[in-house]
């Protein structure tokens, strides 16, 4: 595996990418030249550069969206550096054992050391440090199955026909402000292609980590599941303590063709800011999948505990008949965190089904909002949606909000939406404490129970981690 890292880094060299400093970062600001430099550094073909420039021109004309239930100082897009490469090759980890101890420590705290994870059978790790993918494992095994799992920059060179066909097909360049920005400057990310009638032999996984101060992160992920295939993809994130807000505007596109299934799981644990609400990551993410063929399925599961600001709506366009969309979410906010997250289910095909289960937990002085859209188009005969949004409040300084939009144009559809808000009840706490469980532990137990419905959708290793993550995130929320 370390050979592959070596070769990847060497390739960067060949592109004239040499540096003596710890990392190479472009000066702040964005213009067409910056995009040309980014594209040039990655040695991209002309069509890719044009695509980026087109996105940039559209972005210039767009306004920052203001509708979310979020309050933060405006982001100065000219103060952000739009490209940073990893630390020089001498410092770059040659294997996962050499990963920054800080990240290891975080995983240690979560009970799942990274080196152990990497060894876990069936998990391939494509570690993304800052913006450039530096390592991919298990490639051979995947190659045997015909699965393509590589960095998106690599895919631009090696599978241009797939990239040209699918990049921007789900999230067009001008889709929204942050997606347009990402399309213009995306640095790297993962590309997955599962061939027809193939079950991906292992769960694919990427670790994201923001490493450089003041560096926007613009990952781009594209997963294409061809007819009759199946893939489960895990995305996990951690970031070390930083003082300044960091912007993250990722785009994830999923394409499921006929009878294909994609399961996308996320554990997001970026730096949420300190106890005074200073710092923390601004996370403006566009995630969308399209169930393009009949009987296809896309399932999003997310555990969101990090980031100062979360703006994220993993969505499914149910175009194929009988296709299925699912969204399972736990969003926990503490301190001064703010989250405006939810999903969109766009029913277009006949007998399409969607399930939304969202659990929001607010503690401290945080604000946690669920915002969702369920739209049934006139030809979505027999469409079915079930939505359940529950909020739990811990403390009297926080807020929990629900904004579900339901638009129905088909009389044959059945839609249900339910939302409740409650607090950790005194009775429940009393019961636990009476049995010798301290208050903090008791709250974490109750919260874990509250989230169980979502956790059971996570792959096993993630579920364990997610439970621990909630515990860590809730530290100091009680008492």
Q: Which is nearer to another protein, 151 or 338 (CB)?
A: 338
For another protein, which residue of 10, 115, 409, 452 counts as binding (CB under 8 A)? 409
Q: Please, what is the minimum distance in Å from the beta carbon of residue 408 to another protein?
A: 5
Nearer to another protein, 175 or 219 (CB): 175
Site string for another protein, 187-226 (x = CB under 8 A): ----------------------------------------
Instruction: Report the alpha-carbon distance of residue 156 to residue 143 in Å, rounded.
Output: 18
Task: State the DSSP code for 349.
Answer: S
Q: Which element (helix H / strand E) includes 80? A: none
Shortest distance, position 316 Cβ to another protein, whole Å: 19
| CB nearer to another protein: pick between 250 and 346 | 346
Cβ 340 to another protein shortest distance, Å: 12
Q: Which of 116, 119, 422, 430 binds another protein (CB under 8 A)?
A: 422
CB of 327 to another protein, least distance (A): 17
Among 120, 406, 429, 472, binds another protein (CB under 8 A): 406
CB-CB contact of 199 with 114 (8 Å): no
Nearer to another protein, 92 or 361 (CB): 361
d(C-alpha 124, C-alpha 149), whole Å: 9
CA-to-CA separations, 295 to 290, 325, 353, 432, 470, in angstroms, rounded = 12, 11, 10, 45, 35
The conformation of residue 249, written as its DSSP 8-state character, comes to -
Of 418, 402, 343, 326, nearest in space to 367 by CA = 402
Using N-to-C axis directions, what is the helix angle for 177-185 and 32-41, rounded to 10°? 50
Token pair listed for 15? 């592109």
Instruction: Spell out the alpha helix ranges (H) of 174-226.
Output: 177-185
Which of 65, 197, 278, 405 is close enough to bind another protein by CB under 8 A?
405
Stretch of 48-56, 79-87, 287-295, 404-412 lying at the interface with another protein (CB under 8 A): 404-412
CA–CA separation, 479 and 475 (whole Å): 10
| 255: helix, strand or coil | strand
Task: Name 460's Cβ contacts closer than 8 Å, sequence gap at least 6.
Answer: none
d(CA 354, CA 338): 26
Q: Contacts with another protein in 344-383 (CB under 8 A)?
A: 378
Q: Measured from the CB atom, is 408 or 448 closer to another protein?
A: 408
Contact 187, 151 (CB under 8 A): no
> Is 267 or 346 the residue whose CB approaches another protein more closely?
346
The residue (of 174 and 388) whose beta carbon lies closer to another protein is 388
Report residue 399 as tokens. 């807020």
Q: Cβ closer to another protein: 268 or 402?
A: 402
CB of 215 closer than 8 Å to CB of 25: yes
User: Measured from the CB of residue 373, what is the shortest distance to another protein in angstroms?
Assistant: 9
The piece of 28-36, 201-209, 310-318, 420-428 that touches another protein (CB under 8 A) is: 420-428
Total Cβ atoms within 10 A of residue 88: 15
For another protein, the closer of residues 81 and 388 by Cβ is: 388
With a CB cutoff of 8 Å and minimum separation 6, the contacts of 332 are: 303, 304, 305, 360, 361, 362, 363, 368, 447, 470, 473, 474
Encoding tokens for residue 404?
A: 């579900």
Q: How many residues contact another protein, by CB under 8 A?
A: 35
**Site map 44..83 versus another protein, x via CB under 8 A:** -----------------------x-x--------------
* Given 143, 414, 431, 460, the residue binding another protein (CB under 8 A): 414
Among 393, 458, 463, 477, binds another protein (CB under 8 A): 393
Residue 103, classed as helix, strand or coil, is: helix
Total number of residues shown for the chain: 479
Read off the tokens for 36: 């040309």
Whether 251 contacts 61, CB under 8 Å: no
Would you say 264 or 370 has its CB closer to another protein?
A: 370
The minimum distance between CB 469 and another protein, in angstroms, equals 22
Under the binding rule (CB under 8 A), the answer on residue 395 touching another protein is yes
Residues that bind another protein (CB under 8 A): 67, 69, 378, 391, 393-423
């Amino acid at each position: 595996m370390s050979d592959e890292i070596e070769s990847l880094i060497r390739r960067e060299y060949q592109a004239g990418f040499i540096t003596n400093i710890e990392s190479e970062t472009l000066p702040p600001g964005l213009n067409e030249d910056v995009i040309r430099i980014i594209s040039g550094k990655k040695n991209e073909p002309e069509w890719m550069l044009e695509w980026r420039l087109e996105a940039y021109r559209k972005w210039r004309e767009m306004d920052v969206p203001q509708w979310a239930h979020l309050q933060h100082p405006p982001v100065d897009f000219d103060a952000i550096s739009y490209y940073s490469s990893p630390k020089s090759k001498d410092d770059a980890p040659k294997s996962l054992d050499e990963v920054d101890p800080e990240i290891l420590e975080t995983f240690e705290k979560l009970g799942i050391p990274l080196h152990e994870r990497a060894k876990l059978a069936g998990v391939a790790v494509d570690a993304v440090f800052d913006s450039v993918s530096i390592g991919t494992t298990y490639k051979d095994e995947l190659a045997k199955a015909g699965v393509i799992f590589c960095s998106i920059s690599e895919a631009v060179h090696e599978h241009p026909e797939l990239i040209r066909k699918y990049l921007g097909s789900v999230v067009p360049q001008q889709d929204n402000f942050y997606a347009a920005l990402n399309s213009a400057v995306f640095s790297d990310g993962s590309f997955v292609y599962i061939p027809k009638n193939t079950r991906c032999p292992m769960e694919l996984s990427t670790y994201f980590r923001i490493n450089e101060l003041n560096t926007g992160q613009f990952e781009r992920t594209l997963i294409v599941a061809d007819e009759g295939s199946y893939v489960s993809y895990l995305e996990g994130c951690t970031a070390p303590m930083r003082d300044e807000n960091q912007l993250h505007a990722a785009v994830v596109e999923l394409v499921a063709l006929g009878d294909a299934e994609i399961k996308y799981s996320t554990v997001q644990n970026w730096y949420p800011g300190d106890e005074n609400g200073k710092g923390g990551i601004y996370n403006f993410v566009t995630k969308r999948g399209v169930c393009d063929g009949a009987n296809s399925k896309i399932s999003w599961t997310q555990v969101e505990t990090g980031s100062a600001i979360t703006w994220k709506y993993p969505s499914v366009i149910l175009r194929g008949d009988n296709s299925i969309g699912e969204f399972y979410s736990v969003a926990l906010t503490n301190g001064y965190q703010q989250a405006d997250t939810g999903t969109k289910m766009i029913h277009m095909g006949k007998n399409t089904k969607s399930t939304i289960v969202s659990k929001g937990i607010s503690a401290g002085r945080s604000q946690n909002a669920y915002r969702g859209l369920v739209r049934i188009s006139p030809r979505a005969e027999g469409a079915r949606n079930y939505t359940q949004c529950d909020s739990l409040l811990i403390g009297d300084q926080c807020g929990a909000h629900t904004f579900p939009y339901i638009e129905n144009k088909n009389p044959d559809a059945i839609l249900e939406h339910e939302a409740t808000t409650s607090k950790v009840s005194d009775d429940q706490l009393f019961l636990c404490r009476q049995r010798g469980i301290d208050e903090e532990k008791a709250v974490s137990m109750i919260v874990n129970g509250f989230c169980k419905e979502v956790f059971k959708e996570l792959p096993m290793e993630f579920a364990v981690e997610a439970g621990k993550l909630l515990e860590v995130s809730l530290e100091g929320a009680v008492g």
